[in-house]
Amino acid sequence: MAEIRPKQNVVIETSEAQIAVHWREEEYYYPPAKFVGQANLTDPDILERFSEKNFPECFREYADLLSWDRYWDTTLDTSDPPFWKWFVGGKINASYNCVDRHLAKYKNKAALIFVPEPESEAPVSVTYRELYVRVNEFAALLRDFCGLKSGDRVTIHMPMVPELPITMLACARLGVIHSVVFGGFSGEACGMRVADSQSHVLITMDGYYRNGKLLDHKAAAEIALSTAKHEGQTVDKVLVWRRHAGQNASATPFVKGRDFFVDELLPNYAGELVAPVPMDAEAPLFLMYTSGSTGKPKGCQHRTGGYLAYVTGTSKYIQDIHPEDVYWCMADIGWITGHSYIVYGPLALAATSVIYEGVPTYPDAGRVWRIAERLDVNIFHTSPTAIRMLRKSGHDEPTKYNYHFKHMTTVGEPIEPEVWRWYYETVGKREAVIVDTWWQTENGGFLCSTKPALDPMKPGSAGPGVPGIYPVIYDENNQEVTAGSGKAGNICIRNPWPGIMQTIWGDHDRFVTQYYAKYCKNRSSKDWHDWPYFASDGAVLAADGYFRILGRVDDVINVAGHRLGTKEIESACLTVPEVAEAAVVPVADEIKGRVPEVYIALKPGVQASQEIVDKVNKVIETMIGKIARPKHIHIVSDMPKTRSGKLMRRVLAALSNNMKTGDITTLANPDVVESIRELVQGKEVVALTDGPEDLKRFGTEE
């Protein structure tokens, strides 16, 4: 179905809008009556309250869930598009809202329950009172020992332990901007983020458990610091939390005057209280780096007031969190899901939020359900990859445990209807409502989802826009793709919302070009209607108003719900001296959804060898982390290219996935395709398919 037409001398694919997407419409599932009976959001009037005619004032309803030091004057300021400002003039502190204000009613209630990976270590509860004490003491240390103040940036590279939210909330108390880097990212990846955010302080941990092993995590800090230094950024202090009191899980030597164990410093701040700093609603709360279509990760800068209001409102209405709930989100706090829906949203609502240190299937497939039973978890939140993994490793395990979820979430990737049904029937025991929430690091909180007590569920579809979000699908010609047309296009959000990022840290131009340039109707307009947000996801809109998300339309691979830029992996490959060219494509994986596959061409005169393959593997692991590990590395004689020299990743993606390559006659070197096909698929010709939408459309060619 590929159509070749000239555009700026480049061969491009059939446009989004012309791709018809066929799938079986799934049956509706209705929210269980027991859930509806206790839900926070049961009033259908919400649609009217959050309708366009009440925008932007509708978002007062979310902001009013918070305690403000100063009430705001202007709900939405659109004077400098697309740099929207929310709750302007308001002052607020996120740490106060997640901790202090709950003391009167909930001081003895667990704020956090930490579940260590080894089952021999009992879960540890941190009450709201205890959280208050620990956040204050650590804030005093950050202020008085590290000299940190509002607006400074701190990089946090930590595993899933309660000290991570304590650290974040201590920063927020001072107005220090935290930048949490996923603990599984390599030291180099962490160092690049330290440099980009210009952090002078790195907070880490000696070690943590993963899959039964106590890992040396501090070792990564050493690499991070030398990487940051190479980029021109010096770190003065490294604060190291300790996994076990009195022990050191790291073999890395301490540098005197630079590295400090937190538990050796904290006694100096025992019982100290730090007044929460009233921050401008628009002051940045944190940075969260994510991958895009260039080699350099971008620091999504999130504001204090709007972000906190948005995650609190959506946690209440979409996650249905009440203070008496035990809520467990299995994401890592090092990703946006963990920030919004383990830390800020649930704690702002005084819930009990569970933090699990390790691997869901350690030591066996029943672990997750044992934790749910023991803690009496009633809200469960995870990704399709985790669901697929749990289903494969223990199909009937959930039935052996006596837990009862009222609500479950899936996030991060499209979920296959049959996997959804296992989640609903076996994990949820047909008692729990499911929300399939679509959103992104940039967005702060949910964009599309069903309202759990009000809308029926449809397996595989996220649902309509959540209250106050008006999504639309546009084709490549700026035309709206109509509901029920069966056509795919680019999903956009027509309006600003309080959770949207403020900008890309240090790169305002990239913010505008990446998210707004494509569909902006008038660059000089100050009317938000002219500035739709381009999400970089393909989607289809069914006649009932439910969006089905098809996947990224840029050079991003969604691996187990985590974003990896193909360009980042390619840049890593190119640091191996023997490699002349590298191309990275997604390949379908039964558990992780998509994983990267690498193609490399060697410099003239270099012989292919296992040693080169090993080097490429190693460099990807050290520069990015284990999550980017490729499924295969293929050494090819040449890359498929257009006559203008453009590398055709789409053709490689087709070969990797046994898909039809489409018309390749216009390539400069069509013969190379057959030789790569043999290398990848073997001599026998295999049956080819059309392939899933995201793989068919993979790779920007312009």
Chain residues binding ligand PRX by CB under 6 A are 290, 336-337, 411-414, 436-441, 462, 537, 549, 551-552, 558, 561-563
Q: Which residue is nearest to ligand PRX (CB)?
A: 441
Of 283 and 462, CB closest to ligand PRX: 462
Q: Is it true that the peptide bond before 496 is cis, omega within 30 degrees of 0? A: no
548: Cβ contacts below 8 Å, ≥ 6 apart:
21, 23, 414, 460, 461, 462, 539, 540, 541, 542
Of 178 and 548, CB closest to ligand PRX: 548
Question: Residue 138's Cα: distance from chain center in Å?
Answer: 27
Q: Among 325, 289, 336, which Cα is nearest to 437's? A: 336
Q: Among 260, 305, 290, 285, which Cα is nearest to 196's? A: 290
Least Å distance, CB 500 to ligand PRX, is 13
Of 93 and 409, CB closest to ligand PRX: 409
Least Å distance, CB 346 to ligand PRX, is 16
Q: Torsions phi, psi of 140, nearest 5?
A: -65, -40
Residue pair 339/180 in contact (Cβ under 8 Å)? The answer is yes
Q: And the tokens for 168?
A: 């974040």
Q: And the tokens for 394?
A: 């223990």
Least Å distance, CB 483 to ligand PRX, is 18
Least Å distance, CB 445 to ligand PRX, is 9
* HEC letters along 578-614: CEEEEEEEEEEECCCEEEEEEEEEECCCCCCCHHHHH
Least Å distance, CB 23 to ligand PRX, is 14
Least Å distance, CB 515 to ligand PRX, is 12
Please give the C-alpha separations between residue 253 and each of 5, 206, 222, 248, 342, in angstroms, as whole numbers: 60, 11, 9, 11, 33
From CA 100, how far away is CA 277, in angstroms rounded? 13
Least Å distance, CB 547 to ligand PRX, is 9
Query: Strand, helix or coil at 185?
Result: strand
Of 290 and 304, CB closest to ligand PRX: 290
Of 217 and 562, CB closest to ligand PRX: 562
Please report which helix (H) or strand (E) contains residue 573, including its range. helix 566-573
Least Å distance, CB 439 to ligand PRX, is 5
From CA 154, how far away is CA 138, in angstroms rounded? 14
Of 132 and 185, CB closest to ligand PRX: 185
Of 280 and 413, CB closest to ligand PRX: 413
Give the position of tokens 């092993």.
213
Of 165 and 551, CB closest to ligand PRX: 551
Residue 316 burial (C-beta neighbours within 10 Å; 0-12, 13-18, 19+): buried
Of 102 and 592, CB closest to ligand PRX: 592
465 DSSP β-pair partners: 448
From CA 337, how far away is CA 261, in angstroms rounded? 29
594 DSSP β-pair partners: 588
Least Å distance, CB 620 to ligand PRX, is 19
Least Å distance, CB 536 to ligand PRX, is 6
64: Cβ contacts below 8 Å, ≥ 6 apart:
none
Of 249 and 336, CB closest to ligand PRX: 336
